[in-house]
Amino acid sequence: MHVAIVLGTRPEIVKMSPIIRYCEELGLDYSLIHTGQHYSYEMDAAFFHDLELPKPGYKLNVGSGTHAEQTGKIMVGLERILIHDRPDVVLVQGDTNTVLGSALSAAKLNIDVGHVEAGLRSRDRTMPEEINRLLTDHIARYLFAPTELARSNLLQEGIDEEKIRVTGNTVVDAVLQNIEIAEQRSRIFRDLDLMPGGYFVLTAHRQENVDNREKLGNLIAAMRELHSIYGLPILFPAHPRTLKRLDEFGLSVPEGIRILEPQGYLEFLLLERSARAILTDSGGIQEEACILHVPCITLRENTERPETLETGGNILAGTDPGRILQAVSTVLSAEASWTNPFGDGRSGKKIVDILLGDR
């Protein structure tokens, strides 16, 4: 059996890492394809090195662009590889343009598609990620749902029950496996002169937040108040695009916010684990915070990870400063004793075993 694993962004590298490691352990015939969505392969090469993963055999170097440009380039580049290699299954993860472009290319060549993290729904079709999730799920032959709720979403859309397997989420495997590597390698606390538990972490990258002056201004105002109330620094690993918007909108960064370069995954994982709380608009970080038992405030009006809300470890706050501050107060006053809803850390093994058992 030949499995083609396609990824294109850093979160995909992280969440596919347990599957790649298990393929290596079994000596499975597989290929690793990096589309280069958002970043060049050269920028991501450190991720493969730090996570002790083999280098991709193929690199498409798609780069940034409109959704149509990215998806089209991915389809054109991947089609050539799939025609040459003819894998049995193309495995994709999540909700990016890499996922949709790869699923379309494989399906049109009558190659089975396996979707890792299938069935997530925000119910907001203005989000490009929601469109990518929906279409990929309806193309895929194998739908690896992380939770029973995700499985229920798929069944409600009329997807054949036989295609769906609840495997847990590979993010649990990734956190447990990679935290050990991080502890051995990273010196982040010494480098940043930080005490565990003595700071907040902020991330903001979604278009609806950083490209909107009012929303971005509200986030900055909320952080100003947060620092005033708690007296703790707010670590903000900021994407260059976000910094550009701050400058364009004339928004100054207040005292208390420490702008950092985008961190490596291992360093950021340790920063997450020891944060007083995390404020984010990222779906993956919501999951990691939940797994690490760190309170999370989501800077959105919806989430495709409602399980994190049900545990009590995450609150939707949008970008209104008053709601954000109230949410911080609520999560900090509660005990972080929730149960991780995303599985036992063996999802990567389950996914590969299902594929092998079906052949």
Average pLDDT per block of 10 residues along the chain, 359 residues long: 94 95 96 85 75 93 88 96 98 96 98 98 91 97 97 98 97 93 88 94 91 95 96 92 92 93 89 97 93 96 93 95 97 90 95 90
Whether residues 155 and 185 fall in one domain: no
Whether residues 130 and 196 fall in one domain: no
As beta bridge partners, residue 280 has: 203, 298
Expressed as residue numbers, the domain containing 94 is: 2-169+343-357
In this prediction the pTM is 0.88
Q: Are 117 and 136 in contact (CB under 8 A)?
A: no
Whether residues 68 and 24 fall in one domain: yes
Instruction: Give the containing element (helix H, strand E) for 80.
Output: helix 67-85
| Structural domain count of the chain | 2
CATH of the domain at 263: 3.40.50.2000
Whether residues 271 and 313 fall in one domain: yes
| Per-residue pLDDT tens digits for 37-72 | 876 666 677 788 888 899 999 999 888 888 999 999
Q: Give the long-range contacts of residues 151-160, CB within 8 A, separation 24 or more.
A: 151/119, 152/119, 153/119, 153/120, 153/121, 154/118, 154/119
Radius of gyration of the chain (CA): 20
Q: Is residue 7 part of a domain?
A: yes
Q: Which residue numbers are catalytic? A: 205
